[in-house]
Structure formats: C-alpha cells, structure tokens
Amino acid sequence: MNPTRAEIDLKKLEHNFNSIRSYLKKEKPGKKIKICGVVKANAYGHGIQEISSKLIELGADFLGVANYDEAIKLRSVVPDANILVFGTLIHSKLKPAAYVKKLLKYNLIATVASLDTAKFLDYYSGKLGRKFKVHIKIDTGLKRIGFDVKQAYKNVEQIFGYRNLEIEGIYTHFATSESPDKTFAKHQLNKFYDLLHSLKKGGMNFPIVHSANSGAILNLKDSYFDMVRPGLILYGYYPSENFKNIIDLKPIMNLKSRVTFIKRVDANTSISYGRKYFTDKKSFIGSIPIGYGDGYWRALSNIGKVVIGNRYYPISGNITMDWLMVNLGAKRKVSVGDDVLLMGSQNGEYLGADRLARILKTIPYEMLCAVADRVQRVYFS
Ligand SMILES: Cc1ncc(COP(=O)(O)O)c(C=O)c1O
C-alpha cells in the first residue's frame, strides 16, 4: 500500500470542539449557543463523512456545506442532522419540480441569497405540498452572495410573504474577522444588528440568527447570536497568530509518508528535475513518495523541510508529481521504511499548515484543502 497518508486524530477534533464549546460558555454564560460545524470542501480536506459523524456525536447542532452535491453525499452518513447549504441554488439538469423534490427528500436547509431562489423554492415546494426550510443570507460587506443589507428589509419582507418556505434563520459572513483590527467586522456587525432590529419591529423574527466564523468566535463575541459556524478552529488552526492564547487547539491532521528509497551520491550531484539543487558533499539522498499530485506544494522545493525521527531534513531539488527528495546528510541515520512527517506536528516537532502557509504566502485553509483525494485518510479515535 502507498505509505503516503493523512492521519486524522478524532480525539483532537473532540478536544478542539470542547475548547470551542467551553469558550462560548465562558464568553456568554447562561446562553446555549448552537454550533454549526463547517465541513465544506471535504471537511477542509479531512474527510467530510468521518468528521461529520464525529461532530454530530460530539453534539454539533448543524453541519455547514458549500453546495448541494456535498450535502446529498453527506446525508446518508448523518440521517438526522441539520445540514445547511451555504451556496446558492443552481438549477440542475433535472426538471425543476424533480430537483426540488430531491432536495426535499434529502431534507436540506437552503440558503436564500436572492429573490429568484426564494421564488423558485416557494413555487415548487408549493406544488409538492411541502415547506422548504431556509436561512436568508445578508451581505453586510463581504460582497460574495446575499441580499445587500441596504435593501434587505424589503427583500426579507417579500420572502415572508411566501407561503411554502419555513424561514428558520438569517445570517451574514465577515470579511475580516481574523484581523486584530475590528473596525470593518464591527461595521458589518452593526449593519446586521440594525437590520435585525428593523425586521423585529416589522414583526419578522428568526429562530436562528448567526454570523460568527472562527475569527469572530475568537475576536468578536457580540457576533454569536444563536449559533456560531466554526471551520478552521475545529481542525486545530488559528485564523490569526494573534489569537493563539485565546483557546487551546490541536491540529488534527498529520500528513505523512515513508522513506522508500535511499542512495548515496557524490558531491556536486544534481537532484531532481531542472537540476536546481547540487549536493555540497557526498550525501545520502532519500526519496519519499509524495509530490504535488498529492497536494504537497511544489513551491516548497528547496525551502521546505520534513521531519524523520526527531530531526528536520531539507527538501532537496524540485518536488515532482509523485516524489520528493531529501538530503539525509553524510552519515546514514535514516532507513528505508522510516516514517516522514510533511505537515502537522509530532513529538514536539512542528510543521503546521500555518507555518507552511506563511512560507508560501498563503493561508492554512488552502494547505489543508490541497491534500489530494489520492492521499488515503486514516482515522484514529
Ligand atoms: C458561510 C461560512 N460560514 C463559516 C465558515 C467557516 O469559516 P472559518 O473556517 O474561518 O471558521 C465559512 C468558510 O469560509 C463560510 O463560508
């Protein structure tokens, strides 16, 4: 079997979930705030089915996915869970009535971000004699999807007129919640509060109001309302370095492989495609079967490191689609079959997605989502 795998520790997921829950209790004593575990994009690369089952077992109230395909795949694993689809409804090739029937069968909760969607769901749900549960999405500043907060009152009022929708929630999403500068997040939050206030005055109430993602959970407690939507922090990373002492999180994925080939080469030998690396002395070179085809970034060529045993070794030469090479030094301390850590943490050695992301000028989210499907996920509980 290919030794490259992502080891996922569900005990650490439990630890992170409980840290979030305790933090919410501490910040809002006496209020039961629901948790919507965000499991879109294959649970940020961790495996949507296993992560979702565990989150439901831990007491998550909702699961959040990006689109209807993810939601439908998930349904068989968590038959009773509340699944909220964050994305818009794009009419499928199925005839509209058949499509809505299918979505109703899967018992999904739709985001309504436009009047078109509201009308469509209302009309076909009416024909089928069922109500479609929806959460209304308000754009307070991200400018992605949602009703512009300036005109939202009128739009929401219109949606309240539709008889075949069950309006369960209303929500917004922040553009800068991870930033220690809270100015824009507070601006968004104030707009959302103002809208909710006017809607309430107009007799429009919502059982579940929500807005907080990971950054807002750690940085903006007035954004909690009835439910929070953590993603990244469930998987053990902080959306910003600045929040490290707020709660204790543990990265739950270790991306690992094994040394599968070792050779000794002379000084001044080039390693890998393009000859971008030359040995400075006689060296042992180890080959590890992971490359950019596995989602391990080629941009880490000649700058990344791996951990073998308790030592760091440099990635030497260009990372290829299926392999990378490391210089193991002049004395042979590593054997074929030894375990290699490429991302994550182990026995005090740290190669977290956040650290690699900093080197690559990206974000830990992207590092985690990049782990390819062909990498086997192995779960520990
Ligand atoms: C609507 C929505 N809510 C919550 C989240 C979770 O965000 P985070 O991973 O920063 O907690 C996301 C992810 O981008 C999202 O799109």
Q: What is the CATH number of the domain that holds 82?
A: 3.20.20.10
Whether residue 232 has its Cβ less than 6 Å from ligand 1: yes
Catalytic, out of 12, 40, 256, 305: 40
Same domain, 266 and 368: yes
Q: Quick one: CA torsion of 359, 361, 364, 366, rounded to 10 degrees?
A: -120
Question: How many CA atoms within 13 Å lie on the side-chain side of 379?
Answer: 14
Q: What are phi and psi of 233, to 5 degrees?
A: -65, -25
Q: What is the reported pLDDT for 342? A: 98
Q: What is the pLDDT along the chain (381 residues), one digit of tens a residue?
A: 899 999 999 999 999 999 999 999 999 999 999 999 999 999 999 999 999 999 999 999 999 999 999 999 999 999 999 999 999 987 666 678 888 888 999 999 999 999 999 999 999 999 999 999 999 999 999 999 999 999 999 999 999 999 999 999 999 999 999 999 999 999 999 999 999 999 999 999 999 999 999 999 999 999 999 999 999 999 999 999 889 989 999 999 999 999 999 999 999 999 999 999 999 999 999 999 999 999 999 999 999 999 999 999 999 999 999 999 999 999 999 999 999 999 999 999 999 999 999 999 999 999 999 999 999 999 999
Whether residue 38 has its Cβ less than 6 Å from ligand 1: yes
Residue 225, helix vs strand vs coil = coil
In a domain, 202, yes or no: yes
Same domain, 172 and 321: no
249's tokens? 């999180």
Q: What's the CATH number where 295 sits?
A: 2.40.37.10
* pTM greater than the 0.85 cutoff: yes
Same domain, 168 and 275: no
Atom of ligand 1 nearest to the CA of 44: 9
Same domain, 185 and 271: no
Q: Domain range for residue 165?
A: 33-239
Same domain, 230 and 319: no
Catalytic (active site) residue 25: no
What's the domain count of the chain? 2
> What is d(CA 301, CA 304) in angstroms, rounded to the nearest whole number?
6
Residues 83-92: b if buried by 16+ CB within 10 A, e if exposed:
bbbbbbbeee
Same domain, 212 and 264: no
Same domain, 213 and 278: no
